[in-house]
Amino acid sequence: MSARPLALSSRIPARVAHAGLLWPSLGVILAFMVAPIAIMLTYSFLVPGAYGGVEWTFSTAAYEQILFERDFLDDSLTFTPDYLIIVARSLLQATVATLLCLVISVPTAYYIATRPDRVKNIWLFLITIPYWVNLLIRTIALLFVLRDDGPINSALIDVGVIGQPLALSYNGFAISLGLIYSFLPFMVLPLYSAFERFDFRLLEAAYDLYASRRVAFFRIVLPVMRPGLIAGSLLVFIPSVGSYLAPDILGGGKTLMIGNLIGTQFQAARNWPFGAALSMILLTITLIVLFWLARRAAQQQMN
């Protein structure tokens, strides 16, 4: 028997009730999320106003600015890779973070899945808690241990291993570490849930057929984890590309990634169309990655 649809009152027609239930949420998201993004798209094709804001003149200058610099005197365009480097660095940092998270998370997810049930739940709790703990605080905590006079450097100097503090903070290394630190639970949890119901007799069968541990791992374990691998990569890569806090706090306030570059355009530098154009590029990258991975996941399900 199929369940009757939930209804709140017999006097209100189902269509009206349905709309009344659905539209408060849809309306809020459409008005305060989708409309703002549509405005951003429009602004990205305008020119910056003299005192912040925009002027209503159509222009593609904001997008050109990402690749070229306009000369004040003769209006000629010269190629400048500065902003392109920031976009490339964001993609690179996110890729490195995703790959390193994978390397750490695959064995961890496997190990957790092989624990007895009670211990397994404790492990899962331990991985889940940081997922919900304030990201700003976690980033500050990482800066605290990496600083020049932080506990790592102090300990190494006290022991006499090094004379000068190691440059652990305010550089690209710290940002990479920060991204991994921020988003590692996002990788472990989907990998674990993909692997949770693994039938270990498959592994047994592989060994019976003279598979080595390495072959068993790459041919049996990893393919089972693949849906989690895709979901986890998505959950690490997307927030990493647009990350603001890790580069801001651990990178020492230099504009090192696209998130900070966007933020700056709406604060001190005040070029809204340029910031809007960068936002549209970041959003496009995000949606392309999302749809590409969603399609791969759908294809896998069909096979």
Binding to other proteins, residues 4-63 (CB under 8 A): 4-10, 18, 20-22, 24-26, 28-30, 32-37, 39-40, 43, 53
> Measured from the CB of residue 74, what is the shortest distance to other proteins in angstroms?
33
Site for other proteins in 188-247 (CB under 8 A): 188, 200, 203-204, 207, 213, 217, 238-239, 241-242, 244-245
Spatial separation of the C-alpha atoms in residues 191 and 185, rounded to whole Å: 10
Q: What stretches of the chain show up as alpha helix (H) in DSSP?
A: 14-29, 35-43, 61-67, 82-113, 117-132, 135-146, 151-159, 172-195, 201-208, 213-216, 222-241, 245, 258-265, 272-302
How far out from the chain centre does Cα 196 lie? 24
Joined together, the tokens standing for residue 180 give 């991994």
Amino acid (one-letter) located at 252: G
> Measured from the CB of residue 176, what is the shortest distance to other proteins in angstroms?
13
> Measured from the CB of residue 197, what is the shortest distance to other proteins in angstroms?
15
* Binding test (CB under 8 A) with other proteins, winner from 65, 83, 183, 185: 185
Q: Hunting for tokens 């920060």 — which residue is that?
A: 178
Residue 266 within binding range of other proteins, rule CB under 8 A: yes
Instruction: Determine contact, residues 146/177, Cβ cutoff 8 Å.
Output: yes
CB-wise, 74 or 199, nearer to other proteins? 199
Site for other proteins in 158-177 (CB under 8 A): none
Q: Facing residues of 48 across strands?
A: 54
CA dist 2 → 5, 180, 221 (Å): 9, 46, 38
> Measured from the CB of residue 79, what is the shortest distance to other proteins in angstroms?
26
* Binding test (CB under 8 A) with other proteins, winner from 61, 87, 97, 143: 143
CB-wise, 34 or 77, nearer to other proteins? 34
> Measured from the CB of residue 85, what is the shortest distance to other proteins in angstroms?
19
Select from 81-89, 137-145, 225-233, 295-303 the region that touches other proteins (CB under 8 A). Answer: 137-145
* Binding test (CB under 8 A) with other proteins, winner from 77, 119, 287, 288: 287
CB-wise, 77 or 145, nearer to other proteins? 145
Q: Hunting for tokens 């190494």 — which residue is that?
A: 156
DSSP string, 25-88: HHHHHIIIIIHHHHHHHHHTTSEE-BTBSEES----HHHHHHHEEE-TTT--EEE--HHHHHHH
CB-wise, 77 or 141, nearer to other proteins? 141
Nearest in space to 176 (alpha carbons), one of 228, 243, 129, 232: 243
Select from 57-65, 75-83, 285-293, 295-303 the region that touches other proteins (CB under 8 A). Answer: 285-293
Give the x/- contact pattern for other proteins in 66-105, rule: CB under 8 A. Answer: --------------------------------------xx
> Measured from the CB of residue 53, what is the shortest distance to other proteins in angstroms?
7
